[in-house]
Amino acid sequence: MTAPEGRGIAETSFTGNTFRILHVSTGNVCRSPITERLNRHALTVRLGERLTGGLIVESAGTWGHEGAAMEANAEAVLADFGADASGFVGRELLDEHVIRADLVLTATRDHRAQVISMGHSAGLRTFTLKEFTRLVRAIDPATLPDPLDEGVVERARALVRAAAALRGWLLAPTAEADEVYDPYGAPITFFRSIGEEIHQALDPVVTALTGVPARPGLL
């Protein structure tokens, strides 16, 4: 899978045929690194390195600790899932990250509002992670491009358009339903509960992106 420059996986050359997923939290040391690396891991498990070409998964923080390593407890959570934590470097969210992103998935509604407030026509491609999960569950996969025929990039673009069209019709049961709470400074048990929450939210998203369901015991 393609990764952003300097983020630990070699960049592959594509000519306009990429799809960038940007995960956003506050410090970019807990929630968004966990989500980024679980997402990368799941995509690779489902499709293999060859077929994930063109999908770029990255993260940043609205108050990002620029240059920081992820929290040790976040690394431990990733190890629980067999995901790679190596080479991670924290980033502060910049305009260029939002401009380049095809899909922005945030930890909370406040993060979503901050991304949208940056402009760059981000509204139609920015969701909380759990909001996006709820929306993709309602999308008939038969209406999406076949990833083998048209590629995962075209499928991903169609998925975002379909989710944006549904947003006003499928509201959260409660405001808290779309939140992933911050485990910063919490014990490992809370980090693991947040990791499992993110894992559960990512599963239908990765299935919708790839057209490949998870194998038992794997994302």
- pLDDT score, position 16: 56
Long-range contacts of 122-129 (CB under 8 A, 24+ apart): 122/98, 124/160, 124/164, 125/101, 125/160, 125/164, 127/103, 127/163, 127/167, 128/178, 128/179, 128/180, 129/23, 129/35, 129/105, 129/180, 129/198, 129/201, 129/202, 129/205
- pLDDT score, position 50: 57
For 212, the token pair is 């490949």
- pLDDT score, position 175: 80
Q: What is the pLDDT of residues 106-146, one digit of tens each?
A: 999 999 999 999 988 999 999 999 999 999 999 999 999 99
- pLDDT score, position 7: 35
Q: Which residue has the tokens 């894992």?
A: 199
- The amino acid at residue 7 is R
Residues with pLDDT less than 50, the chain: 1-15
- pLDDT score, position 212: 87
CA 53, CA 50: separation in Å to the nearest integer? 6
Cβ count near 214 (within 10 Å): 17
Q: Note the pTM of the prediction, 2 decimals.
A: 0.90
- The amino acid at residue 60 is A
